[in-house]
Structure 1
Amino acid sequence: MDLLDYHRGTLSARRVRVLVQHLPRDSAFVQELQGEEAQWGLGEHLMASAVDQLAIGNWLFTAAHTAEHDTVPDPPVPLPRPGMDEDPEEDPVTDGTDIAAFFSGL
């Protein structure tokens, strides 16, 4: 497709707009406008979320089965995502003492 066809009168402005709106996210134009956020689609975000949830579940299992005199492992760090801060704010995940208190009361 030759964009000079717009100036020649054989390509309408509507067609140019539709072509630009439906560019793939890996195109140079979209990369320039959106930066690295354009590299991640819904599938990538869902996969990263699933990996984070699996890591939290494994950590919770390990923390709950750690002996009382052993130190609880550090909580997992979420996968970095484009557009998110490098230093996330305080994570609401417990340090393991709440889990140990819960299971010791059973």
Structure 2
Amino acid sequence: MRYYGTDLLDWHRGRLTSRRLAVLIRHLPRDSAVARELHGESADWTVTEYLLAHVADQLAEANWMFATVNRDEDADPPEAPEPVPRPGGTSGAEAGERPAPAPPGPAEIAHFFS
């Protein structure tokens, strides 16, 4: 009723066909109660949101690598960034992305610059 102004009881009354009802349900917007029930909080996430989360993860990883390479030799390495949480409680690494690499040791850094 909220989106189409159609009473679902019209299906029982014979004024709304099963095919028409199925089409209306299939094309409900993402913020509908049916979409939220079927897809949970991922109903709010479009491809754009997933791409933005991926970009944010990549930027945080690049900043972390820059800080790791340019830190003082005696300083503790910075903590690896946490990926942006995705719907369903999965992070980028759990969703199939590469996990953040371990910080390089002194030997790896020396080898890089030699």
State the SS of the aligned residue for 1:83: helix
* Cα RMSD after superposing both structures: 2.4
- Structure-2 residue corresponding to 1:94: 102
Of 4, 7, 28, 1:2 maps to 7
Identity of aligned residues (%): 45
CA displacement at 1:15 relative to structure 2: 0.9
| Structure 1 runs, 4 residues or longer, greater than 6 Å off | none
Q: Could you tell me which amino acid in structure 2 is paired with residue 26 of structure 1?
A: D
Larger relative CO (CA 8 A, sep 6+): 1 or 2?
Answer: 1
- Superposed, 1:1-106 pairs within 5 Å as 1-85=6-90, 91-97=99-105, 100-105=109-114
Q: Partners of 2:31 and 2:83 in 1: how far apart?
A: 25
Q: Partners of 1:92 and 1:76 in 2: how far apart?
A: 7
Q: 1:24 to 1:47 in 2, by over 3 A?
A: same
CA displacement at 1:83 relative to structure 2: 1.8
CA displacement at 1:7 relative to structure 2: 2.1
Q: 1:43 to 1:4 in 2, by over 3 A?
A: same
Once the two structures are overlaid, the 10-residue window that deviates more, 73-82 or 24-33, is 24-33
User: Structure 2: which 5+ runs fail to align?
Assistant: 1-5
Q: Could you tell me which amino acid in structure 1 is paired with residue 109 of structure 2?
A: A
CA displacement at 1:85 relative to structure 2: 4.2
Q: 1:99 to 1:58 in 2, by over 3 A?
A: farther
User: Structure 1: which 5+ runs fail to align?
Assistant: none
State the SS of the aligned residue for 2:85: coil
